Amino acid sequence: TAMPLHRRCAPQQAILALETSILQNFIVSNRRGVFVYKDESSSVFFMRLNWHKITDAEDTEQNPHIIELLVHGCDKPGPSITDQLVCLLRRKLLTLTLDALSSLLKKNPWFNLLGSDLAFIKDFSNESRELLDHTTALPDSTRVYLLPPYVQDPLILLLMFRQNICGSTFIQQLHHDACSDEAETVEVDEAHGQIEKLRFNKLPDFQFYFNSSPSQLDPNYQPLTTLTEKGREYSRRAGSGIAIINVQLLHGTDSECQILIGKKSELINKKMRASKSDISLLPIDSHENHKQFKIRVEIINTTVDIDIIHKWVKLSLTQVLAAWSIERHLESSRLGLICNDEDGYYVHEGVYKKLKSINKLVPGLQALQDMILIAAQLPHPAIAHSQKKMMIRSTMLANVTLEMLTKLSSIIQTVNKRKVFDGITVVRFTSKQQASLVNIIKDHKSKNNSARVEISGKGKLLKDKPTDSPEYTAMLVLNGGGSQKSHYDWSHHLFFKSVSVQISTQQESSSFSQVMSRIMNEKPSMFQRNLVVILIISRSSQTLMTYNANPQLRAKIELAFNDVFQEAGKVEERRRDVLQSRSIRHISFLPNDSIKHQSVAKETPADTPQKSVEAKPAKDEAIVKRGPTRRIPRPTAMLRPTLIGKSVEGAAMQAVTANRLRASSRPSMTQRSISSTGKKKHISVEKSKDKNLPRERRISASQKKSREPTKDATSIARSSVPQASLLKTYRAFISLLKDGSDSFMSQRRLTQSALQRLAHMFFMSSKEKGSNLISTRLISTCYSNFLGHGSIQLLQCDSQVAINKSFLDHLTKRWGAKLFVPFSGALPQFLYLKKELLTTSTRSAVILMEISMPWESFYNSFIFCYKAWLINSTDKSKVDALARKPFPSFGSIEREAAVKEAVASDFIGQLNLEQELFDFACLRVLRMKRGKKLGEKNPATLPFLKSIISRFCTESQANLPSPGYMLQRRFIALSTFLDGYMLSSCRKEILLDHMLSRFKTYNLLPCIGSGDSFCFTGKIEVGDFLVHYFIAWHESVELSLDVFVLCVMKGQCVNGYMIKEGSPYAERISDVVVYSAMSTVQDIITNASKNIRKMHLWRQFGEKYSTHLALKATLAELRMFSFHVDILMVDSGLKALLCDELNELQLSWRDVFSAITLSPSFSHCITFDESEESGCVVYFKEEDVFLDFALDENRRVRHAEILAREEFNYGDSSNASECIAVRSAVKKFTMFLLQWMWNDCEVGL
């Protein structure tokens, strides 16, 4: 078998590549170049590869070599060698040639390809399909885009496109020998020595090539790469290979047209704001005729993904269109051609007044901002947008603006770095004073050199008040050619310095390039590029927009922007801290009406002596009020024990008794509180009370009378509710200590074992009697180890307490915890959850979590907060029962404590509230899928989905450790897959009513909601994933859908890659899931539009038939959307009547169809008689079906069918309603036809 070899491949290298790849498994180890193969019939063959040169190959473009596969054997080779093996070898040779061309173009992107190279690339797809034996259709290689109507001079746009796309390093201009053979005819109309019009016999087309191996940039053509993140993504997804891209400019259907050089349109100049449609391309059909300019993109593919290349080219065209619009807008603004005639366009009157006021001073400023913002989202390589949401005082805005403008001027200009650049335009806007042009300078007369704001030209001083809320907008525009006033060249700051006419390394310029070079010399302003920096500073947001700034300059400006506002944020934060420290001095844990006398007595010694002297009577008065607990004066003589006999032990016991008596007379605060509840201490207090009785008698009656009201007031204060509950809790703890052990009461501080015993008794008592809030907070804050805390902002749409309770139940179930303090009714201020970690026969470790969900008015949502403590408890009764066991060592106790601490810390570390909130929200969405009525407890599904996706964007979901769901939001325009009547039938009201009435047909369910918040949901299975999709109308874009995709992951990862069957490329699972859901939605909408159109046609030709219809197109649609059933399959007896090929019956079908309307069963008959096709469509109103008859040129029936609405399986014995309707219609038609034949025969007789 002979296989031709392309001239770009050396024969020795090609044979080596074939032997080491395809024939590697059949090699004979001891014979070089010999291969052995045993086919399916057990026949053995020896094979060799050889090459030879064609003797008559004189042309250098021909393929001079041929590779032969020599097969030796006793039998004839089978198809496994002659077909399959040869196919593999030829495919490998195609790949080798393609790699050789790719390597050649990578080394020299300006290499002139030969005609054979172009022929190889153009025929690559056909040869590959022949070798693979594929019958599937190739993807669409041609797409047409319509330019906006204001583009009247698109030649500069094409030059900018070539400069932009060639700067990506993957796509370069194509050079080949055929370029010089094609003569371009360019006619020039001159006026006053300058070119005004150009006429092209053939509009200029640009040829490029895509190479998966990038080349180096030409610094003389475009020094900076234009490859964005989107472009890098396209380069990775495009695959390997080469593709030729033909970009051609069209104008209507004429092959000849004229272009006015520098013609401007007033369409965009009259708009106050610019929309996305103004600077976007419109994909259209190649057969549509428009008076506007069109761009036709044709791709000749080899092995790359043609859809990705089309998206890449469209992205570059959109980038260039945005940049071209900005440049023309700046030129119109500079020439004073912008006139805003819009009135009443904006719904909000305040916004309209603001825009009108600003555009009156700086025409086109708002439209320029809109175009930069829209282009930054593409993305665009030379456009950047950054925004900060920071609260700044109104009085500080002028200072911050001056600081930013000063830094911007120091970056732009090399001289006078401390002075604000003169070319910066600053606009100040307030709702009261409207917009005004101002100058911001530094006021050296002020103490802190603050900013001074003056109106330009008037010198009037403006001062920002706290209630003004001003907004400063600063704009800097620099021309690449330099300013005439400063004579300074700004081109080194620009990303695109100018519009390049031709590539510098091109040896011969075409006639088109020569004409464009002449236009460039005559009108250099058309080819210049500008630099724009816009800064918008207000109280709540700060925005920076840059256009055509090189990466180094842009990085410096963004760094200065971040530094200035970061420092301003720190200043504002320090100011707020100072204000808070002045307003909030102390936040106490106890209520406000707690005992204040002790705190006053403790704080007074730290004050001045004057204050201490004044506070002393209050202290004495408090002691007098307490009676028995009053302090006794220190004795002057030491109490000596009286010795009992001569016993040393008796003397020691007596000394101890005396010391106890002395201690009881002067108790400390802690011992006084503990002793007040004990029996022995109570007796000592009674004794001290008896001793103090004579001293109280010396108090006068007037003093007693003056002190009685104070005593009553104190008693009332003590009986207040918060202090009474606190006292009750305190006594409950004392009772626990007494019940635990008497030794606890004699200790000044509780040991670790006492705390563990106290915790065990607390939990035991809480099971029996319950627990209150104060006791739980006291046991957690005072007798446990603090683990950590955390908080999270809940969704803003969840403003009901019931939802928060559901979220708490979800967390309790997920964490395996229990509600410690039960409640009923509304949620209390604090909740407690108990999580048991480790439990043994004697010891247990419990995590106690304090939960609070306060409402934060600033965020307009609830805040979920938690604090966690680790509590170790010990059951002493079981410890005493197991006392026979040896006492555990100190090391084992430490290890046990370390294990508990590690387990508790691990549990706290895994509390990811962000993930739990996201999973809970997605779980709620799945529960809300069923169609329930809208109520307070059942919020609408669509607003809830929007709230989730705004709270958890794609980046936030990617940061979650192991989420259980994936939620994505996509937009789909109906015009991308529908057109004509199909698109017009999908208006919002029509489509909504149709899907509500027939949602089961599309396997959908209506979700909770009404009006604009209504949506539908369905589900599909993608691999091992269950995917739910939600379909709703887009809130702002007409004929567009908002699609939410919710994937249930069940512990699997969607960030991995998978390979589809039949595809050589790996795809991300998340992309496959979203693509499958979007394809399903597209199929549902397509089927719905077909059904709506079918129902419309059915009514149009059935019940509401009118003779003024366009029959040909609409009847074709009716047949296309209907289900066809052959009449002969229903009643085979009609074959003799309908299939009368010899015309023995001599039936006049025209007369039959004319008389059929006389039958009451058939309401009307639609006949059509054309040169191409003739026939009749009869409507059977009883069963709502059509009978379709087509006649041939001899006016005989060619075929007869029944048109039904829905598809069904017909059977003769089936009792389905559709089958009965079809049989009834055929029966009635048969009876009519026989009756008509009988009547016709009588007339003939």
Residue 1132 confidence (pLDDT) above 60: yes
pLDDT of the residue at 1170: 66
b/e for 794-826, b at 16 or more Cβ within 10 A? bbebbeeeebbebbbebbbeebebeebbeeeee
pLDDT band at 646 (very low <50, low <70, confident <90, very high): very low
CB 1008, CB 934: distance < 8 Å: yes
Q: What angle do CA 1167, 1172, 1175 make, to 5 degrees?
A: 25
State both tokens at 761.
Answer: 């008794």
pLDDT of the residue at 793: 85
For the segment 701-726, the average pLDDT, to the nearest whole number, is 40
Window from 227-241, 767-781, 794-808, 1171-1185 with minimum mean pLDDT: 767-781
CB 64, CB 57: distance < 8 Å: yes
For the segment 316-340, the average pLDDT, to the nearest whole number, is 85
Q: Which amino acid is at 529?
A: R
CA atoms within 13 A on the CB side of 783: 24
Higher-pLDDT residue of 671 and 465 is 465
Three-state DSSP state, 53: strand
Cα 947 from Cα 803, distance rounded (Å): 15
**One-letter-per-residue 3-state SS of 220-241:** CCCCCCCCCHHHHHHHHHCCCC
State whether the Cα torsion 1140-1141-1144-1150 is positive or negative.
positive
Q: What confidence tens digit (pLDDT) does each residue in 406-454 have?
A: 888 888 875 555 566 677 899 999 888 888 999 888 887 776 778 888 8
pLDDT band at 273 (very low <50, low <70, confident <90, very high): confident
H helices of 831-889, in order, are 876-881
974: number of Cβ within 10 Å: 21
DSSP notation for 685-697: HHHHHHHHHHHHH
Q: Which amino acid is at 1107?
A: T
Higher-pLDDT residue of 628 and 828 is 828
Q: What angle do CA 866, 868, 870 make, to 5 degrees?
A: 170
pLDDT of the residue at 876: 57
Mean pLDDT for all residues in the chain: 76
623: number of Cβ within 10 Å: 11
- Percentage above 90 pLDDT, the chain: 11
Cis, peptide link before residue 379, omega less than 30° from 0? yes
Q: Of 585-599, 959-973, 1093-1107, which has the strongest mean pLDDT? A: 959-973
Segment holding 835, helix H or strand E? strand 831-839
Q: Name, in order, each residue with C-beta under 8 angstroms of 1218's C-beta and a sequence gap of 6 or more.
A: 1204, 1206, 1208, 1210
Q: Which residue has the tokens 């004697």?
A: 842
CA atoms within 13 A on the CB side of 1204: 21
Helix then strand then coil, in percent of the chain rounded to 5, is: 45, 20, 35
- pTM exceeding the 0.85 threshold for the entire prediction: no
pLDDT of the residue at 36: 92
Window from 285-294, 485-494, 579-588, 1040-1049 with minimum mean pLDDT: 579-588
CA atoms within 13 A on the CB side of 488: 12
State whether the Cα torsion 124-126-127-133 is positive or negative.
positive
DSSP notation for 439-471: EEEE-TTSTT--EEEEETTT--EE---TTT--E
Cα 715 from Cα 542, distance rounded (Å): 60
Q: Of 799-808, 1040-1049, 1165-1174, which has the strongest mean pLDDT? A: 1040-1049
Long-range contacts of 184-189 (CB under 8 A, 24+ apart): 184/510, 184/511, 184/512, 185/511, 186/511, 186/512, 186/515, 188/515, 189/258
For the segment 1194-1202, the average pLDDT, to the nearest whole number, is 82
Residue 721 confidence (pLDDT) above 50: no
Higher-pLDDT residue of 1240 and 543 is 543
Q: Name, in order, each residue with C-beta under 8 angstroms of 1243's C-beta and a sequence gap of 6 or more.
A: none
For the segment 546-567, the average pLDDT, to the nearest whole number, is 91
pLDDT of the residue at 613: 38
State both tokens at 1169.
Answer: 């008689």
Three-state DSSP state, 364: coil
Window from 219-223, 776-780, 813-817 with minimum mean pLDDT: 776-780
| Rg for the chain, CA atoms, rounded | 45
Question: 1164 to each of 25, 1100, 1103, 1176, how far by Cα in Å?
Answer: 74, 12, 10, 10
pLDDT of the residue at 1211: 80
CB 265, CB 149: distance < 8 Å: yes
pLDDT of the residue at 673: 40
pLDDT of the residue at 611: 37
For the segment 583-590, the average pLDDT, to the nearest whole number, is 45
Residue 472 confidence (pLDDT) above 90: yes
pLDDT band at 349 (very low <50, low <70, confident <90, very high): low
State both tokens at 364.
Answer: 């086109």
Residue 1030 confidence (pLDDT) above 60: yes
Cα 798 from Cα 853, distance rounded (Å): 12
Residue 883 confidence (pLDDT) above 80: no
State both tokens at 339.
Answer: 């006139």
Strand order of the sheet with strand 142-146?
171-173, 205-211, 242-251, 293-300, 142-146, 282-284
| Burial of 724: CB neighbours in 10 Å, binned 0-12, 13-18, 19+ | exposed
State both tokens at 827.
Answer: 């949620």
pLDDT of the residue at 536: 94
Window from 562-571, 880-889, 1010-1019 with minimum mean pLDDT: 880-889
For the segment 870-890, the average pLDDT, to the nearest whole number, is 57
Q: Which amino acid is at 724?
A: A
Residue 688 confidence (pLDDT) above 50: no
Strand order of the sheet with strand 2-5?
2-5, 65-73, 44-53, 35-38
Residue 627 confidence (pLDDT) above 60: no
1123: number of Cβ within 10 Å: 16
DSSP letter (8 states) at residue 642: P
pLDDT band at 1136 (very low <50, low <70, confident <90, very high): confident
CB 34, CB 14: distance < 8 Å: no
Three-state DSSP state, 1188: strand
Q: Name, in order, each residue with C-beta under 8 angstroms of 803's C-beta and a sequence gap of 6 or more.
A: none
Residue 1046 confidence (pLDDT) above 90: yes
Instruction: With CA atoms as reference, report the closest residue to 111 among 170, 157, 177, 159.
Output: 177
**What is the signed CA dihedral for 443, 449, 450, 454, rounded to 10 degrees?**
10
DSSP notation for 131-197: HHT--SPPPP-EEEEEPPTT---THHHHHHHHHHHHTTSSEEE--BTHHHHS---EEEEEETTEEEE
pLDDT of the residue at 547: 94
Q: What confidence tens digit (pLDDT) does each residue in 18-44 have?
A: 988 888 888 888 888 899 998 888 889
- Percentage above 70 pLDDT, the chain: 70
